Chains A and B, each alone.
Chain A
């Protein structure tokens, strides 16, 4: 069964801390994505990656960075956590466009609270 795993389901951090959210997929997908989801705002794309060591900014990259050193792993980094980064963070992966009739596969999410 295909799987996207995220390092934590729940995380509580303090303002100013550096936060690492890890995502691993076992489907050999080229594409990986990080979203945040907030009530009334829907899914918003933070960063995505089409290949190892490649990254592209999404709609709301400010305050975040990413790392993709290996194909299966995509990390989201909050350089200095702030309270407005309290949110549900979702990682997803997908195969290259046109290669399949599948969509994106999402992880279970990490609910991050910044105090």
Chain B
């Protein structure tokens, strides 16, 4: 079965720096990959979607890359702020069959002022 690994459970960075979160997967590449933000006690919020034929996607201070050769997606937050502190989840979607999204366990990001 498909396995997703997000680089670490927790990541601490200084305010103003760029946070980089990693999502690695095994086996075959998904049709697309999504990133979500989750605050404690709340449901995840969709941030970005990148398709397998796209290398990079940007939205304001967020940037996502998708490398099907490395089987990896990188999620960057530039000029990070304490308000960016949250858990970030990656999720993969495969076109074969009625398979829904497969979620990683998330990386908890803390931006320290």
**Chain A interfacial positions (CB closer than 8 Å to B):** 4, 31, 33, 40-43, 45, 48, 50, 56, 58, 90, 92, 97, 101-109, 111
Cross-interface CB contact of B42 among A50, A102, A109, cutoff 8 Å: A109
Residue in A closest to B46 when the chains form the complex, CB atoms: A103
Can you sample 19 A-B contacts with CB below 8 Å?
Answer: A41-B105, A42-B103, A42-B105, A58-B100, A90-B43, A92-B43, A97-B31, A97-B95, A101-B49, A102-B46, A103-B46, A103-B47, A104-B34, A104-B101, A106-B43, A106-B44, A106-B45, A108-B43, A109-B41
A-B CB pair tally, cutoff 8 Å:
50
Bound state CA distance, A40 and B104, in angstroms?
11
Q: 18 additional contacts, CB 8 Å, given A40-B105, A103-B101, A106-B44?
A: A33-B100, A41-B105, A42-B89, A42-B106, A43-B89, A48-B100, A50-B98, A56-B98, A92-B43, A97-B31, A103-B46, A103-B47, A103-B49, A103-B91, A104-B34, A104-B91, A108-B42, A109-B43
Q: Which residues from chain A contact B93 at a C-beta distance below 8 Å?
A: 97
Residue in B closest to A92 when the chains form the complex, CB atoms: B43
Residue in A closest to B48 when the chains form the complex, CB atoms: A103
Nearest 4 CB-CB pairs, A to B? A106-B43, A103-B46, A42-B105, A43-B103
Beta-carbon contacts under 8 Å, B16-43 to A: 31, 34, 36, 41-43
Contact A45 B100 (CB under 8 A): yes
**Interchain nearest-CB distance for A109 vs B (Å):** 5
Bound state CA distance, A43 and B43, in angstroms?
10
Bound state CA distance, A104 and B42, in angstroms?
14
Q: Mark B54-92, 1 if CB is under 8 A from A, else 0.
A: 000000000000000000000000000000000001010
Q: Which residues from chain A contact B103 at a C-beta distance below 8 Å?
A: 42-43
**Interchain nearest-CB distance for B72 vs A (Å):** 19
Contact A102 B49 (CB under 8 A): yes
Q: Which residues from chain A contact B106 at a C-beta distance below 8 Å?
A: 42
